[in-house]
Chains A and B, each alone.
Chain A
Amino acid sequence: MTIFLQQIINGLSVGSIYAVIALGYTMVYGIIRLINFAHGEIMMMGAYFAFVTVSAMGMPFYLVLIVSMALAALLGIAVETMAYRPLRKAPRISALITAIGMSLFLQNLALVIFRPEPKRMPPVIPRFPVRIGPLQIGTVTITTIILSIVFMILLDFFVKKTKPGKAMRAVSEDKEASLLMGINVNRTISITFAIGSALGALGGVLYSVSYTQVFPTMGVMPGLKAFVAAVLGGIGLIPGAMLGGFVIGMVETLSKSYISSQWSDAIVFGILIIVLLFKPTGILGKNEKEKV
């Protein structure tokens, strides 16, 4: 029973990382209907930014987080402006291929700059187990869960109560109408990318602190899984990404311990396939028909 609870906590930790990354996917999809394949790489870059600031500059954790998220936000804006904006009116297939290309580009950029050997993330959060009842939870796990939830609350507040947040929701609903209402669509989209990328970087930092390794392709699998999470919860919906993240985190952790770690990947992708076949709009999504 203790082991089960332990696994639940692990699942929450993994899930919160997926949730935070999934938010980036869902926000971008919500606003420009693009699956940003490069988002996993933003997460990876976030981890590298953290690595550099910790090991080369010895910054404390909170600063590392801020710097990493800020740099990732800038990177996200740059990617959007250079690669996605020119294709806003292009057929979907072109935009998707560009996103895939961007993903590869960033991976290989990291490969060239940082070299393929994995780097070890220094212990920027003091690691020791905390006893809560019969359970032993690591500080890293606690930090991950708490930070993720804090940022999710901040995001929720931002989207619901601030002007740029409301602009984001407006543009997601109807881009043309938002333009007519005087909303600066380009800037809103940039802000969306900035926030989504910052959250992705947060995920990357937390991931690298948990698993201690930083390498150029570290964003591929977590990126894909976070994406599955976003789809599961309802692509384009912020609460959907949060819900989906936790579910996928749980599924992965529990299937790794109770079934096998080899099959856990197949199970996650199996979930993707089932969702797409039976309810493509996800758990929280509504049905939409194409206008003829």
Chain B
Amino acid sequence: MAKTFNLKVFIINLLAVIFIFIAIKILIGSGALSRYLISIMIFICVNIILATSLNLATGFLGQLALGHAGFMAIGAYTSALTAIYLRSTYNLSGTLLLLASLVAAGLFAGIIGVLIGIPALRLRGDYLAIITLGFGEVIRVFINNIGFTGGAKGLTGIPRITTIDNAYWVMVLTVAILYTLTSSRQGRAIISIREDEIAAEAVGIQTTRYKVMGFAIAAFFAGIGGGLYAHFIAFLDPNTFNFMRSVEILVIVVLGGMGSLTGSVVSAIVLTILPEALRDFAIYRLLIYSGLLVAMMIFRPQGIFGTKEFSLVQFFKTLRHNPIVTPRKKVKESD
């Protein structure tokens, strides 16, 4: 947890983020990145948003939520329909249109998150997992059968306003907000619920409130991710937001480490690129994924990063000194 505002740390991280963006823009400008590769990058941004938001609910709050695709769907459709409406009625376009639509998407998804969360989060463990699965499916069926969403035929005519620029910065903003949230006192409350809910109550934490908060904020960002997605591919089929989709996002979170935002970022990048790189082996991809998932839960359940965050500043420090990690001290009774 940050104790004092460390300007140096903030500037280093900010510069790194800007540097990456500039690098991407240069690559695009020089023609080194084809349309195809740019689209991959946009999908990476979307997946990072989805994974980090699910990580809040599942990794930090410790509640296994299997309906994340449902919130993505709500966000996607809300954003799409809002944009269609705003464009035709107010002639909005570009970034302004995207921002307005995404905010609407996030807010609506977040509100549904609260409505579902309040009853659902009274349940524990397995029961919570299944009820979120149930809600995810109900959402999908709803969207499939309501007229104005285009139903099973899908929704078209969505303004194509997602670009690598706005996708990147929305992603950065999302991760930043989730980071500052999880290192604030509200974040600590959320983490304490994962660690031991009964103990958290015994220390004065209003667990119901923070469970719903964590869940709703996760839903909010899932909605934003869905919105970005909608405005990129410009076509929505409700059946893509099914249980399988929720599981794919879960795999990203588990691989990266439940409780590590940087883990989710790295994992999202890897697991977005990998299927594309292995296109020829598509039929084996999911087989390997799932085998990997099972193997990981058996041999390394904490994923790549566990609950640690990769700190750029720490990284530079260890480069300057010896790259030997100091083991955690086991304290002796006589101390």
User: Which B residues between 102 and 126 are near A, CB-CB below 8 angstroms?
Assistant: 119-120, 122-126
Q: Bound state CA distance, A105 and B58, in angstroms?
A: 22
B247 on the A face (CB < 8 A): yes
Contact A35 B130 (CB under 8 A): yes
User: Which A residues between 243 and 292 are near B, CB-CB below 8 angstroms?
Assistant: 262-263, 265-266, 269-270, 272-273, 276-277, 280, 290, 292
By a CB distance below 8 angstroms, the chain A residues around B250 are: 97, 100
Contact B138 A269 (CB under 8 A): yes
Contact B247 A104 (CB under 8 A): yes
By a CB distance below 8 angstroms, the chain A residues around B324 are: none
Q: Bound state CA distance, A187 and B165, in angstroms?
A: 58
Of A11-19, A59-67, A107-115, A166-174, the segment with at least 4 beta carbons within 8 Å of chain B is: A107-115
Contact B287 A97 (CB under 8 A): no
Smallest Cβ distance from A80 to chain B, in angstroms? 13
B141 on the A face (CB < 8 A): yes
Smallest Cβ distance from B85 to chain A, in angstroms? 26
- With both beta carbons as reference points, the residue of chain A lying nearest to B293 in the complex is identified as A101
Q: Bound state CA distance, A257 and B122, in angstroms?
A: 35
Contact B287 A273 (CB under 8 A): no
Option from A102, A109, A228 in Cβ contact (under 8 Å) with B287:
A109
A181 on the B face (CB < 8 A): no
**A68-105 CB contact bits vs B (8 Å, 1 = yes)?**
00000000000000010011001011111110111111
**B137-151 CB contact bits vs A (8 Å, 1 = yes)?**
110011011000000
Of B154-162, B213-221, B269-277, B294-302, the segment with at least 4 beta carbons within 8 Å of chain A is: B294-302
Smallest Cβ distance from A98 to chain B, in angstroms? 4
- With both beta carbons as reference points, the residue of chain B lying nearest to A105 in the complex is identified as B290
A227 on the B face (CB < 8 A): yes
A231 on the B face (CB < 8 A): yes
Given A93-B125, A96-B64, A263-B145, A104:B131 Cβ within 8 A: no
Contact B298 A83 (CB under 8 A): yes
Contact A266 B286 (CB under 8 A): no
By a CB distance below 8 angstroms, the chain B residues around A111 are: 283, 286-287
Is chain A's interface secondary structure helix, strand, loop, or mixed overall?
helix
Contact A266 B130 (CB under 8 A): no
By a CB distance below 8 angstroms, the chain B residues around A92 are: 125-126
Contact A277 B287 (CB under 8 A): no
- With both beta carbons as reference points, the residue of chain B lying nearest to A29 in the complex is identified as B126
B134 on the A face (CB < 8 A): yes
By a CB distance below 8 angstroms, the chain A residues around B298 are: 83, 86-87, 98
Q: Bound state CA distance, A108 and B131, in angstroms?
A: 25
By a CB distance below 8 angstroms, the chain A residues around B21 are: none
Contact B294 A83 (CB under 8 A): yes
- With both beta carbons as reference points, the residue of chain B lying nearest to A265 in the complex is identified as B141
Contact B287 A112 (CB under 8 A): yes
With an 8 Å Cβ cutoff, the count of chain A residues facing the other chain is 42
Smallest Cβ distance from B189 to chain A, in angstroms? 19
Contact B297 A273 (CB under 8 A): no
Contact A269 B137 (CB under 8 A): yes
B135 on the A face (CB < 8 A): yes
Contact A266 B141 (CB under 8 A): yes
- With both beta carbons as reference points, the residue of chain A lying nearest to B133 in the complex is identified as A224
Smallest Cβ distance from B263 to chain A, in angstroms? 15
Contact A273 B135 (CB under 8 A): yes
Given A83-B294, A100-B247, A273:B141 Cβ within 8 A: no
Contact A231 B293 (CB under 8 A): no
Q: Bound state CA distance, A97 and B289, in angstroms?
A: 13
Given A112-B287, A263-B141, A266-B142, A97:B134 Cβ within 8 A: no
- With both beta carbons as reference points, the residue of chain B lying nearest to A101 in the complex is identified as B293
Contact B283 A112 (CB under 8 A): yes
Contact B130 A231 (CB under 8 A): yes
Contact A102 B130 (CB under 8 A): no
Q: Bound state CA distance, A266 and B144, in angstroms?
A: 11
- With both beta carbons as reference points, the residue of chain B lying nearest to A85 in the complex is identified as B298
Q: Bound state CA distance, A111 and B64, in angstroms?
A: 27
Option from B142, B198, B251, B291 in Cβ contact (under 8 Å) with A292:
B198
List 5 tightest A-B contacts by C-beta distance, closest first.
Answer: A104-B290, A101-B293, A108-B287, A266-B141, A105-B290
Can you report 23 residue pairs joining A to B where beta carbons are below 8 Å apart?
A: A33-B126, A35-B126, A92-B126, A93-B58, A94-B297, A96-B125, A97-B293, A101-B294, A102-B294, A104-B247, A104-B286, A104-B289, A104-B293, A108-B283, A109-B287, A111-B287, A220-B243, A227-B130, A263-B145, A269-B138, A270-B134, A273-B135, A277-B131
Q: What is the interface of chain B, defined by CB distance below 8 A to chain A?
A: 58, 62, 64, 66, 119-120, 122-127, 129-131, 133-135, 137-138, 141-142, 144-145, 198, 243, 247, 250-251, 254, 258, 283-284, 286-287, 289-291, 293-294, 297-298, 301
18 additional contacts (CB under 8 A) given A87-B298, A111-B283, A276-B131: A35-B129, A83-B294, A86-B298, A90-B301, A93-B62, A94-B301, A96-B125, A98-B293, A100-B247, A101-B297, A104-B247, A108-B284, A112-B287, A262-B145, A263-B145, A265-B137, A272-B131, A273-B134
